[in-house]
């Protein structure tokens, strides 16, 4: 597995999904029947959680894109790079876990696992970037 490739691809696809979810939230707030009640409950409960998932989904997707590019520029440390890449992808459980809580009543464990995984991925990727960064582009320029 080329460390980082899946982070970029999955990150971009996840970003597209959470952007589309944002359009749904706009529809519910501005155009859907019963929008007045939705607006009245905008800052509490499921509405707040839905917005939280949208924001964190896009943030964590963007983090995966960034992680993918960083990990692709690091040489050596193959196993830690792979671990950082997988942790970044597991981090996507955080925003999807929020949606699972809202729509499926799932426990918050997925949110916590995703948050810890993403934090660990970013920290590990930072250490790897400091230790194994290459200055020339991969594959030559």
Task: Give the dihedral sign, CA 17/20/68/100.
Answer: negative
Question: In whole angstroms, what is the distance from residue 30 CA to residue 78 CA?
Answer: 49
Residue 133, judged by CB atoms within 10 A of its CB (0-12, 13-18, 19+), counts as exposed
Beta bridge partner(s), residue 133: 74
User: Among 1-5, 9-13, 39-43, 122-126, which stretch is predicted with the lowest mean pLDDT?
Assistant: 1-5
pLDDT in tens, 37-81: 888 887 888 889 999 999 999 999 999 999 999 999 999 999 999
Is residue 29 within 8 Å of 54, Cβ to Cβ? Answer: no
């Amino acid at each position: 597995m080329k460390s980082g490739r899946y982070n970029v691809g999955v990150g971009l696809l996840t970003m597209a999904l959470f952007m589309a979810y944002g359009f749904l939230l706009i529809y519910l707030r501005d155009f859907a029947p019963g929008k007045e009640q939705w607006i009245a409950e905008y800052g509490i409960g499921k509405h707040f959680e839905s917005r939280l998932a949208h924001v964190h989904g896009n943030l964590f997707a963007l983090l995966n894109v960034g992680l993918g590019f960083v990990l692709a520029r690091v040489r050596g440390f193959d196993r830690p790079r792979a671990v950082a890449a997988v942790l970044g992808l597991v981090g996507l459980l955080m925003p999807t876990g929020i949606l699972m809580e809202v729509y499926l009543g799932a426990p918050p464990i997925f949110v916590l696992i995703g948050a810890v995984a993403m934090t660990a991925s970013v920290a590990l990727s930072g250490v790897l970037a400091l230790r194994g960064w290459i200055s020339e582009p991969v594959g030559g320029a």
